[in-house]
């Protein structure tokens, strides 16, 4: 039986109307209809990833409760594939179900003030103490930290070896003593992100993911999934910001001009080309793991979001000189196509920074896809503690 039929079967025994949403989602997870490409017992059926959209459609058509995927995007897109690939059976069992149902929100503690593009230069220290690790340091650019129950965290466990080798990957309980989350206000006026200060926070060794010193390798799984998640979402034609501008154009003939028309059509063409590229990428990935090709999708997504939202603001003429508000807010859901044109324009500036800057992604494409020589580096064979800071 194909999984869409299984979903219809499931709905016959689980009436979505009036069901407790969490109970319903737990049951769906246990039926293997959460993410069919995951193994049985962990929300899936071990089937190709390509079969999932049909399942989601069945549930959506039935008006079933969903897990608010935007709110738990970091858990779904980054933590889950990493835990699946590198976690123990116990860790998978513990974390994947409440992650998927949305009962537990996740955040990501990777970037630091001194380690942005150069993530492997991170300075947050984790020192072994009995069955625990004691962690201290500062993380930035952390979305959802103020809502999160758990974090994926990379920290330095051995400063005496070259920087890529001394990093270990942990799962951090965000409610643990010593975790201090402070809002970090962005260009949009909102504090979507946070700074997270860690002061002698204790993490049980059982919450370590993978081996000590393997953190950099494991982080690659997270990052490649992040880039596909950011750039590769399945959208229909005119999905995303291009649809917003196209609608504005259709509804407001008074804003049109010939020069803007060609600019609009250029972006429409680019957006549709990027969309088809995403479709093709997902067809390629249907069976396998994301590789460096996901970087292309994220590069395109950032550039298009920026150019399209700039055109939208120009199109709005006088209205583009005004804004709704600059109050500092704490959003819990990020919607690149939401709110006002001014917000979209500003928020899009982050798309080429978050999840790997466009510069780093171009390096990745050049080196890993095209096989061009790596940048000359002075930091590869030196102990991290001896690097100039």
- Residues in touch with a second copy (CB under 8 A): 258-259, 261-263, 265, 376
User: Closer to a second copy at the Cβ: 199 or 257?
Assistant: 257
User: Interhelix angle for 258-285 vs 294-316, to 10°?
Assistant: 160
CA separation for the pair 294, 202 (Å, rounded): 35
Encoding tokens for residue 46? 């071990």
Among residues 228, 345, 355, 356, the one that binds another protein under rule CB under 8 A: 345
As measured in angstroms, the least distance from the Cβ of 255 to a second copy is 16
DSSP state of 375: P
- Interaction partner, residue 184 (a second copy, another protein, none; CB < 5-8 Å by kind): another protein
- Interaction partner, residue 276 (a second copy, another protein, none; CB < 5-8 Å by kind): another protein
- Interaction partner, residue 287 (another protein, a second copy, none; CB < 5-8 Å by kind): none
- Interaction partner, residue 310 (another protein, a second copy, none; CB < 5-8 Å by kind): another protein
User: Closer to another protein at the Cβ: 180 or 319?
Assistant: 319
User: Closer to a second copy at the Cβ: 205 or 262?
Assistant: 262
HSE, side-chain direction, 13 A CA sphere, residue 352: 15
User: 236-248: buried (b, 16+ CB within 10 Å) or exposed (e) per residue?
Assistant: eebebbbbbbbeb
DSSP state of 134: E
As measured in angstroms, the least distance from the Cβ of 237 to another protein is 8
Length of the chain: 389
CA separation for the pair 89, 109 (Å, rounded): 23
CA separation for the pair 94, 22 (Å, rounded): 16
- Alpha carbon 168 to chain centroid distance? 20
Tell me if 283 contacts another protein by CB under 8 A.
yes
In angstroms, how far is the first alpha carbon of the chain from the final one? Answer: 58
- Other Cβ atoms less than 10 A from the Cβ of 26: the count is 18
Kindly give, in sequence order, each residue whose CB lies less than 8 Å from that of residue 257, ignoring residues fewer than 6 positions away.
none
As measured in angstroms, the least distance from the Cβ of 204 to another protein is 30
Among residues 9, 104, 118, 214, the one that binds another protein under rule CB under 8 A: 118
Residue list 119-138, contact with another protein (CB under 8 A): 121
DSSP state of 374: P
User: Closer to a second copy at the Cβ: 70 or 362?
Assistant: 362
CA separation for the pair 8, 241 (Å, rounded): 33
Tell me if 350 contacts another protein by CB under 8 A.
yes
- Interaction partner, residue 186 (another protein, a second copy, none; CB < 5-8 Å by kind): another protein
Among residues 57, 284, 287, 289, the one that binds another protein under rule CB under 8 A: 284
User: Closer to a second copy at the Cβ: 258 or 288?
Assistant: 258
Residues 112, 195, 226, 307: which is the catalytic one? Answer: 226
Among residues 18, 63, 254, 378, the one that binds another protein under rule CB under 8 A: 378
User: Closer to a second copy at the Cβ: 325 or 375?
Assistant: 375
CA separation for the pair 276, 236 (Å, rounded): 10
Among residues 5, 262, 287, 335, the one that binds another protein under rule CB under 8 A: 262
Give yes or no: 226 in active site.
Answer: yes
Among residues 264, 294, 344, 355, the one that binds another protein under rule CB under 8 A: 264
What x-and-dash track marks residues 356-375 binding another protein by CB under 8 A? -xxx-xxx-xxx-xxxxxxx
As measured in angstroms, the least distance from the Cβ of 338 to another protein is 17
Tell me if 70 contacts another protein by CB under 8 A.
no
CA separation for the pair 333, 192 (Å, rounded): 9
Instruction: With CA atoms as reference, report the closest residue to 37 among 101, 83, 81.
Output: 81
Tell me if 66 contacts another protein by CB under 8 A.
no
CA separation for the pair 325, 317 (Å, rounded): 18
8 A C-beta contact, residue 309 and residue 318: no
User: Closer to another protein at the Cβ: 104 or 118?
Assistant: 118
As measured in angstroms, the least distance from the Cβ of 376 to a second copy is 5
- What are the residue numbers of the active site? 226
């Amino acid at each position: 039986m194909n999984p869409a039929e299984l979903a219809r079967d499931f709905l016959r025994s689980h009436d979505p109307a009036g069901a407790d949403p969490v109970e319903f989602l737990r049951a769906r997870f246990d039926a293997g209809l959460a993410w069919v490409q995951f193994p049985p017992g962990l929300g899936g059926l071990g089937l190709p990833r390509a079969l999932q959209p049909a399942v989601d459609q069945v549930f959506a058509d039935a008006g079933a409760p969903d897990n608010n995927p935007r709110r738990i995007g970091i858990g779904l897109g980054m933590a889950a594939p990493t835990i699946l690939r590198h976690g123990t059976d116990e860790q998978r069992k513990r974390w994947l179900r409440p992650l998927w149902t949305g009962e537990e929100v996740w955040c990501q503690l990777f970037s630091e003030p001194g380690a942005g593009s150069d993530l492997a230069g991170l300075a947050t220290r984790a020192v072994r103490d009995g069955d625990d690790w004691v962690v201290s340091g500062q993380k930035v650019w952390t979305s959802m930290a103020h809502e999160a129950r758990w974090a994926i965290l990379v920290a330095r466990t051995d400063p005496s070896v070259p920087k890529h080798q001394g990093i270990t990957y942990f799962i951090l309980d965000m409610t643990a003593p010593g975790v201090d989350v402070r809002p970090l206000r962005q260009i949009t006026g909102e504090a979507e992100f946070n700074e997270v200060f860690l002061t002698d926070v204790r993490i049980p060794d059982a919450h370590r993911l993978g081996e000590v010193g393997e953190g950099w390798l494991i982080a690659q799984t997270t990052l490649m999934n992040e880039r596909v998640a950011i750039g590769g979402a399945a959208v229909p034609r005119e999905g995303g910001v291009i649809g917003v501008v196209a609608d504005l154009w259709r509804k407001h003939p008074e804003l049109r001009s010939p020069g803007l028309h060609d600019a609009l059509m250029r972006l429409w063409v680019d957006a549709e080309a990027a969309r088809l590229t995403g479709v093709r990428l997902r067809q390629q990935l249907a069976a396998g793991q994301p590789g460096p090709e996901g970087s292309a999708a994220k590069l395109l997504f950032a550039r298009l979001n920026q150019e399209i939202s700039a055109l939208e603001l120009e199109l709005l003429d006088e209205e583009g000189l005004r804004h709704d508000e600059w109050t500092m807010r704490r959003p819990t859901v990020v919607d690149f196509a939401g709110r006002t044109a001014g917000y979209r324009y500003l928020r899009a500036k982050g798309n080429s920074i978050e999840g790997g800057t466009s510069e780093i992604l171009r390096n990745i494409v050049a080196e890993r896809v095209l096989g061009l020589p790596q940048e000359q580096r002075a930091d590869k064979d030196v102990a991290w503690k001896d690097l100039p800071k």
